Chains A and B, each alone.
Chain A
């Protein structure tokens, strides 16, 4: 067949009209099938979905930093040695920490 020859099937297809209406619960059925195929999200996905929003992320981050700073202020670093031990360390040539000079 030459390319310019009309295909009789084209005319037939042009005349073809679908007579059937979609069933009345067509849309509901589509959504039902989609719902059947879609699995329930896991708890971690729910948490991630809830938490990972810019405003909540900033809020969580700021809260963590405030808690860390508050903890640092209420638990300042102390010496592992008593002041008396520190004194002995500073005057005793036999103290093992003496030459280090820094406070443990």
Chain B
């Protein structure tokens, strides 16, 4: 092998080993918390919850997370035939409309359940914090619902 080739090989091996060391270091430092844990920790810090309130808020969330997962699966199942409509050209428009109406009813129920949960959480907070919490989260939830509906509608129009 030529000296240049040996040098290139050495540089490649060094870079590969350094990249591996970097990856192992960063992965070992990566937080192992779930999204739910990170979210709850943020809630506690942001809205200055004391330990007792945080415990109650966490319990409320644990119950809600189960319900939320179920709702998400229901929405995903209801969305599937609407979002994949392009592959089902043979379907009748009436059939799709019925499915769309079912999906919208389900989304309405889910949005209400989430809003109720957030209001319930807010009742455990100090009034100014509760107000700020609802002002922070409810508009985002509403916006996500609108975006979701827009996505489904545009898929139906295609």
Measured CB to CB, the residues of A under 8 A from B are: 42, 44-45, 47-49, 51-52, 57, 60-61, 64-65, 67-69, 71-73, 75-77, 79, 83-84, 86-95, 98-99, 101-103
Contacts and interface: CB of A to CB of B under 8 A. Distances in A.
Contacts of A88: 39, 137, 140-141, 144
Given A64-B14, A69-B25, A79 B38 contact: yes
**Which of A47, A91, A95: most chain B CB closer than 10 A?**
A91
B17 interface: yes
A84 B148 contact: no
Given A44-B3, A94-B145, A84 B21 contact: no
B38 A91 contact: no
B30 interface: yes
A51 B42 contact: no
Contacts of B64: 91
Interface in B13-65: 13-15, 17-19, 21-27, 29-30, 34-36, 38-43, 45-46, 61, 64-65
Closest 4 pairs between A and B when the two form their complex, measured CB to CB: A72-B25, A87-B39, A83-B42, A48-B3
Contact of B71 (A42, A60, A67, A93): A93
Main secondary structure of the interface of A (DSSP, over half): helix
Interface residues of B, number: 55
A71 B35 contact: no
A90 B22 contact: no
B7 interface: yes
B45 to A, nearest CB: 8
B80 interface: no
Contact of B141 (A48, A71, A94): A94
9 contacts: A48-B7, A52-B3, A67-B18, A68-B25, A77-B27, A89-B35, A90-B38, A90-B68, A93-B71
Contacts of A89: 35, 39
Given A52-B7, A87-B43, A92 B141 contact: yes
B10 A87 contact: no
Contacts of A84: 42, 46, 136
Given A48-B3, A92-B141, A76 B39 contact: no
Contacts of B137: 87-88, 91
